[in-house]
A and B are shown apart, each in its own frame.
Chain A
Amino acid sequence: MSNVGRIMLVLAIGASAGCRDPQSAALPQRYELGRTATTAAIAALDIDAAPDGAGLPQGSGTPSEGAAIYAAKCASCHGAKGEGKPPVYPQLVGRDSADEGFQFARDGRRVRTIGNYWPYATSVFDYIRRTMPQMSPGSLTNTEVYALTAYLLAANDVIPLTTRLDSASLVAVKMPYADRFVRDDRKGSSVVK
């Protein structure tokens, strides 16, 4: 582009910006829309539980307490021992020596369970509390959710049968394959990853 062309382009950009500026300047930083959310309103919706323990409620439960709840409220879909009813209801329990290599990508028939795949124990609690059981989500007490989480973790040989799970002990649970999870390294370009 010639210098003259470049100058014309700069002028053109300047002119269009000049047209826009007065209008933008009239717009406020905020539109003052929406209502301030009260602490109570936030607490009513804020149910997430994270691996650092944030959001985990009071309460506790043991695997044996969870076993009774599981039999009553979960087994009809997920099977008496968490074997699932594929493909609709996923298998929850299952972990053996063949899982050690985390070879899901080599063998598409390997089934992912809580014990051989899930990287965080708090995700089990969070998920059950959000949406289980399927036909009456949100009906479980926090104590029941702790007990069910304890039962499922024990059934997968992640915690001893004697463990009482509460917010502190749940955060302390280390899932067997947590270190297998890696962040996305795809970036586009000509490289297929």
Chain B
Amino acid sequence: MKDEGDEQRPVTRRALLAGAAGALGAAALAGTPRLVRGQQGAKAAPAPLTPADPTKAPGAPTSELGARSAFVHPVRGPTGEIAGSSSTPLQDLTGTITPSDLHFEVHHAGVPRIDPAQHTLLVHGLVDRPTTFSLADLKRFPQVTRIHFIECAGNGVLAWRGNVLGRSDPGLTPQQVAGMTSNSEWTGVLLRSLLEEAGVQKHATWFLAEGGDASLMARSIPIEKAMDDAIVAWAQNGEPLRPEQGFPMRLLLPGWEGNTNVKWLRRLELGTRPWMTRWETATYTDPLIDGTARQFSFEMDAKSIITSPSHPDTIERGWRSISGLAWSGRGRIARVEISTDAGTTWQDATLEGQPLPKAHTRFTQMWNWQGAEAILMSRATDDTGYVQPTRAELIRVRGPGTAYHYNPIYGWRVMANGRVFFHGST
């Protein structure tokens, strides 16, 4: 269905800075008539002009907003849908924080343009004091800043569905296989602070979270999540939320499927049962092999993907690092293993830093490739003891036509000539 982002198209490349030379600054070029082409530009775009020796002339002056190097142009894709998704280019990123302008998007009726001075959050229903909060009100509460991933429930549909329909698609990139997950530092107020302020009543068991976009997207959430770690966030990576991420305020339910992290949050209603909105019945429910459909499947299972090397890389013989991301909606990543022989043997990868709960964790391992064909895989284990399953195991327990929450082990096939292709049959 539409929500799963089935019809991903090839990633389009944003036109490079129209005037690459202009970005360098006229001053930098004035004394350097000899310009050379850079070596690392994108295949599709001509390399930007650079001075022959950047130490022999002053560079560009200060500016209001920083821009990426003219040699670097990661982009989301696909783009252009008001009810659709764009994915994060995981293969272009390092570390764990997703740059805000590359955070994946899913919209059901486009990105609304909202005046923060006009926007309010209404809390009503089973509360003693129905209350309207402005953005300024929210910022006066005790605040929290936490790093969490958000992953769309449909992340991975392209790799899953393509296989089901018998289309082997080795041309998928990490962005297309798993790019509907992103990781940010979020700042906001704990939802329980707002509910306590409004006087949430003891018999409230569910709440409805509703967005202020043209879809009025709404999800029913158990009250336990509100009292646990739910946040009403207004900032992302040190600045106000991006419009695509819910400006001026969004719900953040750490570890839960992306759709429940309601953007442009305008209303919270406390009640005693779920509302059964379209997004928790017709969609975001998971058909199972036994002829049922799983509902309110909030938590994202542990998952990982190698982002380097990956398609469309061509690698060279010798030592290199294998690197990727792992995450779990239930807690911390406890272990990531890597196989270079299609899952026959596994070795523990190194986890960078201290894994945070419900956050992306970067893993790496050195590998000495000597030219033989190889299939690389990663397998995550979280601190509940859950181990990322193979595709075959997921099909066994859920069925080939299941939807959402795809977390199979993914592989990359390295050909003898060094070219790398997606390998989804695990």
- A positions within 8 Å CB-CB of B: 29-31, 33-37, 41-42, 45-52, 87-90, 101-110, 112, 114, 117-120, 122-124, 126-127, 130-131, 134, 137-138, 180-193
Is the C-beta of B45 less than 8 angstroms from some C-beta in chain A? no
Is the C-beta of B11 less than 8 angstroms from some C-beta in chain A? no
Residue numbers in B under 8 Å from A36 (CB-CB): 129-132
Kindly list 18 other residue pairs between chains A and B, CB separation below 8 angstroms, not including A31-B197, A134-B109, A182-B288.
A41-B132, A42-B122, A42-B130, A45-B266, A48-B218, A48-B277, A87-B1, A88-B7, A103-B401, A104-B287, A105-B289, A123-B281, A137-B214, A183-B294, A186-B297, A188-B331, A189-B384, A190-B386
Q: Which of A46, A185, A193 contacts B269 (CB 8 A)?
A: A46
Can you list 21 A-B pairs, Cβ within 8 angstroms, ordered by A?
A45-B266, A88-B7, A90-B1, A104-B403, A105-B289, A105-B290, A119-B281, A122-B276, A123-B277, A126-B275, A126-B276, A130-B216, A131-B215, A134-B83, A180-B292, A180-B293, A184-B295, A184-B298, A186-B299, A192-B389, A193-B398
Which of B86-94, B133-141, B170-178 contacts its partner? B133-141
CB atoms of A105 and B287 under 8 A apart = yes
Question: What's the nearest-Cβ distance from chain B to residue A160, in Å?
Answer: 23
CB atoms of B289 and A106 under 8 A apart = yes
Main secondary structure of the interface of B (DSSP, over half): loop
CA distance A129 to B47 in the complex (A): 51
Is the C-beta of B285 less than 8 angstroms from some C-beta in chain A? yes
Residue numbers in A under 8 Å from B81 (CB-CB): 88
Given the interface pairs A48-B208, A130-B216, A137-B109, the reply to whether A31 lies near B275 with Cβ below 8 Å is no
Q: Which of B83, B293, B403 contacts A88 (CB 8 A)?
A: B83
Give the number of residue pairs across the A-B interface with Cβ within 8 Å: 200
CA distance A9 to B54 in the complex (A): 58
CB atoms of A30 and B196 under 8 A apart = yes
Question: What's the nearest-Cβ distance from chain A to residue B294, in Å?
Answer: 6
Q: Which of B133, B290, B386, B399 contacts A188 (CB 8 A)?
A: B386
Interface 1/0 per residue, B270-296 and A, CB below 8 Å: 010101111001100101111111111
Smallest CB gap from B131: residue in A: A34
CB atoms of B137 and A34 under 8 A apart = yes
CB atoms of B291 and A183 under 8 A apart = no
Residue numbers in B under 8 Å from A183 (CB-CB): 294-296
Residue numbers in B under 8 Å from A29 (CB-CB): 196
Q: Which of B210, B301, B331, B382 contacts A186 (CB 8 A)?
A: B301
Count of chain B residues with a beta carbon within 8 Å of a chain A beta carbon: 77
Smallest CB gap from B280: residue in A: A123
CB atoms of B276 and A123 under 8 A apart = yes
CA distance A187 to B400 in the complex (A): 22
Q: Which of A34, A114, A120 contacts B133 (CB 8 A)?
A: A34
- Name B101-133 residues within 8 Å CB distance of A: 108-109, 122-124, 129-133
CB atoms of B122 and A126 under 8 A apart = no
Residue numbers in A under 8 Å from B402 (CB-CB): 104-105, 108
- Name B38-85 residues within 8 Å CB distance of A: 81-83
CB atoms of B301 and A31 under 8 A apart = no
CA distance A123 to B295 in the complex (A): 14
CB atoms of A117 and B282 under 8 A apart = yes
CA distance A30 to B214 in the complex (A): 34
CA distance A49 to B403 in the complex (A): 26
CB atoms of A47 and B197 under 8 A apart = no
CA distance A188 to B358 in the complex (A): 13
CB atoms of A131 and B214 under 8 A apart = yes
CA distance A49 to B394 in the complex (A): 35
Smallest CB gap from A136: residue in B: B214
Is the C-beta of B393 less than 8 angstroms from some C-beta in chain A? yes
Question: What's the nearest-Cβ distance from chain A to residue B200, in Å?
Answer: 12
Q: Which 3 A-B pairs have the closest CB atoms?
A: A105-B399, A188-B384, A108-B401
CB atoms of A192 and B132 under 8 A apart = no
Given the interface pairs A105-B399, A182-B295, the reply to whether A37 lies near B277 with Cβ below 8 Å is no
Is the C-beta of B373 less than 8 angstroms from some C-beta in chain A? no
Question: What's the nearest-Cβ distance from chain B to residue A77, in Å?
Answer: 11
Q: Which of A48, A126, A138, A182 contacts B292 (CB 8 A)?
A: A182
CB atoms of A45 and B293 under 8 A apart = no
Smallest CB gap from B136: residue in A: A33
CB atoms of B267 and A45 under 8 A apart = yes
Residue numbers in A under 8 Å from B216 (CB-CB): 47, 130-131, 137
